[in-house]
Amino acid sequence: MTEINETPVSNEETEQNGLEILYEDNHIIVVLKPQMTACCPDESKDDNLLDQIKRYIKVRYNKPGNVYVGLVHRLDRPTGGVMVYAKTSKAAARLTEGLQTGDFEKKYLAVLCGTPDTERGTLCNYLRKNTVNNMVYICTPSEEGAKYAELDYKVVEDKTKYSLVEVRLHTGRTHQIRVQMAGISHPIYGDMRYGGPLAQKGKLALWAYSLSFLHPITKERLKFIACPPESEIPWKAFDLSKAIEIK
């Protein structure tokens, strides 16, 4: 397995587009998604990461016409961290298949309000999305639109009022970590939508710090790690270097 820490590619095109590229080849591009940036076009019509990558590729490789970039997975707008995009339709199909078969390993760091009762735990719920208010709710399995959601968590550091936890997703539901943590009365810092306190600039203390998957062509397992913004509240209250060493 190839493990790659946060080492952005440095070139004029990426700087102009504001991209932080962790890895790139002919088939995939792995980038660091900034918080408060959408991962793909949405109703807001705001600039987004997918379109930024398209512009970068068009300029960097002098591509004529439309540039293909495939969206493989998503992160909420307020969430930052590692994302992989496909540069070919073949790579997109294989990455999507890997995501569906559980090949992807996605780990997050989150700052919670309070501390869960147990140091380690697994949360299993059914979730239902209300498309009118864009909220997700814990529901019963029989409700229309109910989808199974599962995650594991581990408390990394306990500050009594707040705690740093590592979360490993087994499913990828909308707002999953946010809703399930709020469901055990420990909402994420900054997540006012699900009961958390107000944070600076509306940012959630939720960060996709580790992403591992099989390369769609070479089949080599790749792993990318990127630390949350260490100088920002509430991250700076915790020992993040210790947290990212968790296996």
Mean pLDDT of 63-82: 94
| pLDDT number for residue 3 | 60
Peptide bond into 234 cis (omega under 30): yes
Sign of CA dihedral 85, 222, 235, 171: positive
What share of residues in the chain are helix, strand, coil (percent, to 5)? 20, 35, 45
| pLDDT number for residue 42 | 86
Q: Which of 54-68, 71-85, 197-211 has the lowest mean pLDDT?
A: 197-211
Is 76 designated active site?
yes
Q: Residue 50: what residue type? A: L
| pLDDT number for residue 7 | 39
Q: Which CATH superfamily is domain 2-243 in?
A: Pseudouridine synthase (3.30.2350.10)
Q: How far is CA 135 from CA 91, 104, 171, 181, in A?
A: 32, 26, 18, 14
| Percent of the chain at pLDDT exceeding 70 | 90
Token pair in block for residue 129? 């999305």
Q: Which of the four pLDDT bands, split at 50, 70 and 90, describes residue 201?
A: low
Q: Please choose, from the candidates 76, 202, 183, 191, the residue with its C-alpha nearest in 3D space to the C-alpha of residue 139.
A: 183
pLDDT higher at 151 or 14: 151
Contacts of 100 (CB under 8 A, 6+ apart): none
- Tens of pLDDT, residue by residue over 216-245, are 999 999 999 999 999 999 999 999 988 886
Tell me the backbone φ, ψ of residue 26, rounded to 5 degrees.
-70, -15
Q: Please choose, from the candidates 81, 96, 206, 196, the residue with its C-alpha nearest in 3D space to the C-alpha of residue 153.
A: 206
Q: DSSP letter string over 33-100?
A: EPTTSBSS--TT---BHHHHHHHHHHHHTT--SPPP-EE-----TT-EEEEEEESSHHHHHHHHHHHH
Q: How far is CA 82 from CA 28, 60, 66, 75, in A?
A: 13, 21, 25, 9
- Tens of pLDDT, residue by residue over 118-152, are 999 999 999 999 989 989 999 999 999 999 999 99
Is the pLDDT at 12 greater than 50, yes or no?
no
Mean pLDDT across the chain? 90
Looking at residue 188, the DSSP 8-state letter turns out to be: B
Q: Which of 1-5, 22-26, 93-97 has the lowest mean pLDDT?
A: 1-5
Mean pLDDT of 164-173: 94
Domain ranges (residues) in the chain:
2-243
Between CA 212 and CA 218, with CA 217 as vertex, the angle to 5 degrees is 75
Q: Which of the four pLDDT bands, split at 50, 70 and 90, describes residue 1?
A: low
Q: Which of 15-19, 22-26, 132-136, 194-198 has the lowest mean pLDDT?
A: 15-19
Q: Which of 38-47, 79-88, 166-175, 194-203 has the lowest mean pLDDT?
A: 194-203
Catalytic residue from among 25, 42, 47, 76: 76
C-beta separation of 211 from 223 below 8 A: yes
User: Would you say the pTM of this structure is higher than 0.75?
Assistant: yes
C-beta separation of 102 from 159 below 8 A: no
Q: Which of the four pLDDT bands, split at 50, 70 and 90, describes residue 2?
A: low
